[in-house]
Amino acid sequence: MTAARLPFACAAVVTDIEGTTGSIAFVRDVLFPHAKAQLAGFIAAHRADPAVAAAVREAASLAGEPDASEARIVALLQTWIDEDRKATPLKTLQGLIWADGYASGELRGHVYSDAVAGLRRWDAAGIALYVYSSGSIAAQRLLFGHSIAGDLTPVFRGYFDTTSGPKNDAASYRRIAAQIGLPPQLLLFLSDREPELEAAAAAGWQAAWLARPADTPPGAVSAFPAFRSFDEIELVRVADTATSDGPGVSAGRV
């Protein structure tokens, strides 16, 4: 695979997490097992917490078992963790469990060093940065706030999760563009998953594939520009507002 080096003219970058800013192994081998092991005890200890109770009820409803016992819901949620189910109540509970792990220092979010450098570089150049991940917004903030590179939350202007819609659905990207307040053609989405890139492109976004050697299956290809790291991605900052002559482009690449 040859990495593309074309510059993207954009006002904002929205990035995925798993396989894009950080390794898939961290989520699969650290975060998911931690949440699965803590799930039963956490729900039992916090069943009176409104957020936990609401998530448990929503999980039961999604499973079509509104009268299921707590033990049954825990078993379902653990199965969903194994399946990497993109269910909002599961993501909510995982985020709450991970919050305890990050607060204790047991967990620290993995972020590739090139992603750290790239995000800081683009933020300094005035490009607005956002996250869109299937993990809850709370979990996103925790990962970047307690990363191995320190607190990275200051570089981001906002976060989006499955409450904005499925990541494989173009309508989700239309909603996010509307919330950001920019025309879709000025937005760049970064992800390691082809269906997500296709959905973003269908909504009028620019899209780029992160094909990291450690996370990409041999022989994998994409219809989108491919990059092995953030170091290879060149951006041209476009002004947030357009004129009658078209969008204003700043000088230089970042």
How many CB atoms are located within 10 Å of the residue 47 CB? 11
The C-alpha angle 89, 18, 254, rounded to 5 degrees, equals 130
How confident is the model over 169-194, as pLDDT tens digits? 999 999 999 999 999 999 999 999 99
Give the mean model confidence (pLDDT) for residues 31-51: 96
Examine the pLDDT at 55 and tell me if it is beyond 60.
yes
How confident is the model over 205-252, as pLDDT tens digits? 999 999 999 888 888 889 999 999 999 999 999 986 543 344 454 545
- pLDDT > 70 in the chain, percent: 93
Model pTM score:
0.83
Query: What pLDDT does residue 6 have?
Result: 74
